Amino acid sequence: METEIKLNASELQDVNAIVDDPWLSILLMPDSAQQIAMDSRYFDTPDGLLAASGHALRLRTENECRIMTVKSGGPSGDGLHQRLEWSVELEDDDDSLAHPERGLEIDAFMKRAVSEGDPDELLYDILHLVAGQPLVEVCQIVFTRRAFDIGFGDTLMELALDEGELRGGGNRAPLCEVELELREGDARDLVALGEELATRFGLIPENRSKLARCLQLAGRSAGPDEPDR
């Protein structure tokens, strides 16, 4: 389960200045800073079957690492997002999962994403929505992430500052947001820190996922669990 807070930071002159604030900087874990180049490409059937069912298939490059992820969406509110997700790190370009446009290798993904003896029926059902069907790239999100481990209350989170671009249907839009993702502890601490960040830095809770905003650019439906605004 992925649990995170999304905050729109598009009104800030410099989103990176947040981590220089004395109040926030003392919460950051020493030597935890990372900078990651992200290139996320989302695939679906030509008629958008996954999105219409509230699911997503993402192939993301994180610096030199490639990861395929299946997500199952859930409701969001006040910037809080909770989704089920399953991920597989790809070995190389010859990996059987590296080219979803040729069709998704369902058995290969299941074998690597789910522990042996612990089959996940929901994942199986999601994958079989697209079994034997060609997949197409529907949108792309390219951004740089500055990430930090952060402690608040008794909870460990990741603080991510994301800046880049949404691309879909030949259209482009800027991306600038702050994410807090729960690592260990209490989701109530996550919500409390998100509210404090919003108040201190003038951030706006974002109820639409990056994918939902990108699909809107592409003129595609974001599915039943994404708000219309």
Buried b (16+ CB within 10 A) or exposed e, 20-58: eeeebeebeeeeeeeeeebebbbbbbeebebbbbbbbbb
Question: What sign results for the dihedral spanned by CA atoms 102, 164, 8, 68?
Answer: positive
| Separation CA 51–CA 139 (nearest Å) | 12
CA-nearest of 163, 72, 66, 178 to 120 is 72
- β-pairing, 34-44 vs 136-152, is antiparallel
This prediction has a pTM of 0.91
Q: What is the DSSP letter of 141?
A: E
Q: What is the DSSP letter of 82?
A: E
pLDDT at 75: 65
In the chain, which residue ranges form alpha helices assigned H by DSSP? 22-25, 49-52, 106-113, 121-129, 187-201, 210-217
Question: What sign results for the dihedral spanned by CA atoms 131, 132, 138, 144?
Answer: positive
CA angle 156, 123, 6 (to 5 degrees): 35
Phi–psi pair at 128, nearest 5 degrees: -75, -10
Give the burial class of 128: count Cβ atoms within 10 A of its Cβ; 0-12 exposed, 13-18 middle, 19 or more buried.
exposed
pLDDT at 226: 56
pLDDT at 92: 87
Q: Calculate Rg over the CA atoms of the chain.
A: 18
pLDDT tens, per residue, the chain with 229 residues: 899 999 999 999 999 999 999 999 999 999 999 999 999 999 999 999 999 999 999 999 999 899 999 999 776 787 899 999 999 999 888 888 999 998 898 999 999 998 765 668 999 999 999 988 889 999 999 999 999 999 999 999 999 999 999 999 999 999 999 999 999 999 999 999 999 999 999 999 999 999 999 999 999 877 665 543 3
The CATH number assigned to the domain with range 2-217 reads 2.40.320.10
